[in-house]
Amino acid sequence: MQRIAQVIKVRPEKLEEYRELHRAVPEPVLARLRACHIANYSIHLLGDRLFSYFEYHGDDLAADLAAMAADEATREWWKLTDPCQEPVPEAGPDQWWTPMERVFLME
Using one digit for the tens of pLDDT, what is the confidence trace for 57-74? 999 999 999 999 999 999
Alpha-carbon separation of residue 34 from 54, 61, 67 (angstroms): 11, 13, 12
Q: What mean pLDDT, rounded, does the chain reach?
A: 97
**Model-level pTM?**
0.90
**What are the chain's domains?**
2-99 (3.30.70.1090)
The pLDDT tens digits for 9-29 are 999 999 999 999 999 999 999
The pLDDT tens digits for 37-53 are 999 999 999 999 999 99
- d(CA 76, CA 46) in angstroms, rounded, equals 26
Report the pLDDT averaged over residues 90-104: 94
